[in-house]
Structure 1
Amino acid sequence: MTIQQYQTIKQGGPFALVTAPSPKPGKNEVCIRPPAVSLNAIDWKNLLFGALVPSWPAVLGIEGAGIVESVGDGVTSFKPGDEVMNWLQRSQFNGAFQEVYTAQEVAVAKKPAALSFEEATSLPIGYLTAAGAIAIGLKVPFPGFSNANTTHEPPQSILVLGGSSGVGSAAIQLLRIALPSATIITTSSVAHHAHLKSLGASTCLERAAQQDTAALKAATPGGAGVDAIIDAVGASVEAPAVYGALKSDGPKLYSLVITRPGVELPQGVQATLIDGQYILDKEPGAMNYLSRLLEEGKYKLPLKIDVVGKGFQAIQSGLDKIPQHSGTKLVVSL
């Protein structure tokens, strides 16, 4: 049997629809047919710069939602016909932009019936990265995680840089779940402030405040600074003033989402680099926890979805929109 892959022929494009063998799941793998896929910044970076593409042609895409086609040995949580959402750690020809792809069981979760495939595909990578930034970087235990770290005093004041990003808006919600009484301060364009407060932010500041240590500290309890920072967008590269928002006698925790090079950390900052895989390595049930939060109504769509088109051909034009969009998640229906 064969499938159609939307291959990127070389760095910068073009794309081509290519017939390829239908994948077969290996041990602990799930094959999924996606009615919808997400477009992420890393897809755009891979297309333009070959950021994580060792050779061409390649199939891009790291996030989808669909129907389970088949499962490999050892898979116990899913069966053919299940509706799921997932992240995948792509390889040369195993990306989301094709008719059937393969994902690790640990990176797959049941799709709540109340969500469309387009809504579900917008969730996994932002949630996983935010969960890692909090549980690993800030050492904050989640009530739904089996490997919760409870040996550290959790931070009570957190600054989330880039609150209107997928990771930032997910982090605000997860922080409020894990730390109900914490002060959560975030930066974003003013157009997103009302939405971010609805997700759990205590205070929203204009993005320009990232360049102003005094403005950041003025928003913290007693003006003393914050215990921790989650940098969802690599803001500190251009705005090192954010480090000054850390409380001088606090733990100085800093979770940095891997988005760009050039970060220089001051002495004394306890920094952790985070991507989507980190939390799955520590907490194999992380995706199941996402499903549970959604089913219980405790977790909302972090971003409004923008369906940019239907069919594989909509992917290329959709990726062109990545640098300009803000506060939305770009999705393609297949």
Structure 2
Amino acid sequence: MRAVTLDGFGGPEVLTVGRVERPEPLPTEVLVRVHAAGVNPVDWKTRAGQGMAGLQKLPLILGWDVSGVVEEVGFGVTTLAPGDEVYAMPWFPRPAGGYAEYVTAPSRQFARKPASLGHVEAAALPLAALTAWQALVDTAGVTAGQRVLVHAAAGGVGHLAVQFAKHLGAEVIATARASRHAWLRELGADETIDYTARRFEEATGPVDVVLDLVGGTDGTDVRSVSVTRPGGLVVAVPGGVSDALAGAASAAGVRASAFLVEPDAAALTTIAGLVAAGAVRVEVERALPLEQAAEAHRQGESNRTRGKLVLEVTPH
């Protein structure tokens, strides 16, 4: 099968397209023919020797977001059958090999693809949507009437987090460049803050939950404490809770939590239902062929993407 591999960590140029052996499903696993693979910040960070690089072995096939069709099922699989359209974030943080024509993973890490979406849009969802959902629902327990601040709201995780928080009945404050504000308001943001023109802590009042998708850049994590009510929560997604954040949070009576997304087919099923109901939509800025994975990484690293980037895996 075709796959995008890297033999050593480095810049986008280390990504090469070649042929590797097709995986075979073990008992309880399914073989999925990949139609599209999402591209995420963890992908290019890992490629560069950061992110999840320490958990991987070279040579490596990157990619955790996939949407495709079940080709074969292993012994014992009862929930899926050949021909089923599925989407998933399998194995994370172990390697999943999503930048390829086929992947194998436990059947119960896959959910049925939202019927209203094509594979490109569906492949943009799993990692970003699960990050937003698990952070807001499972970690923060967001409830109606709370105020939720989402940093980097125009990105892959951020634009879904805005919609989930709104669905949960929260008042949503979103930080993003001014050019994204009208779009974010369409998605449900009640307030928008241009972080390039004004410090967010000067532009909004106290909040109950901060979903920090930026981290230590410009002190965003520590500065978020100053707008969080005592007893409130800062969910620190990139890099976890730094010593500086932990100290600031403790002094202010604010909770700070590290977070890492996990495979979660049940949540993906719920998310598919929200998509079907029209409560959530995913933004794909650009879909590129598998052979242009390096270009997708270059664009992603510019930090100017609205929503997601996706690789299309066409049969050869």
> Which of 214, 219, 243 is the equivalent residue of 1:238?
219
Aligned equivalent of 2:260: 275
Q: CA deviation at 1:155?
A: 6.2
Q: Which runs of 5+ in 1 are unaligned?
A: 142-153, 218-224
Give the TM-score, by structure 1 length: 0.82
The percentage of counterpart residues that share the same residue type is 27
2:240/2:259 contact within 8 Å kept:
no
2:30/2:105 contact within 8 Å kept:
yes
2:4/2:18 contact within 8 Å kept:
yes
Q: 1:99 to 1:333 in 2, by over 3 A?
A: same
1:132/1:276 contact within 8 Å kept:
yes
Count of residues in Structure 1 that have an aligned counterpart in Structure 2: 302
Give the TM-score, by structure 2 length: 0.86
Instruction: Map Cα deviations across residues 30-50 of structure 1 (whole Å, 9 max, x no partner).
Output: 221112111111111111125
Aligned equivalent of 1:105: 107
Partner amino acid for 1:137? T
C-alpha distance in 2 between matches for 1:88 and 1:79: 17
Q: CA deviation at 1:215?
A: 2.2
C-alpha distance in 2 between matches for 1:320 and 1:263: 31
| Aligned-CA RMSD value | 2.4
Q: 1:212 to 1:118 in 2, by over 3 A?
A: closer
1:112/1:294 contact within 8 Å kept:
yes
Confirm or deny that 1:164 pairs with 2:129.
Answer: no
Q: 1:251 to 1:60 in 2, by over 3 A?
A: same
Aligned equivalent of 2:62: 60
Q: 1:272 to 1:73 in 2, by over 3 A?
A: farther
Partner amino acid for 2:214? V
Aligned equivalent of 1:9: 7
1:130/1:168 contact within 8 Å kept:
yes
Instruction: Map Cα deviations across residues 179-225 of structure 1 (whole Å, 9 max, x no partner).
Output: 2xx321111111111111111111111114773523232xxxxxxx1
C-alpha distance in 2 between matches for 1:67 and 1:255: 34
SS of residue matched to 1:275: coil
C-alpha distance in 2 between matches for 1:235 and 1:170: 22
Q: CA deviation at 1:269?
A: 2.0
Q: Which runs of 5+ in 2 are unaligned?
A: none
> Which of 199, 221, 226 is the equivalent residue of 2:187?
199
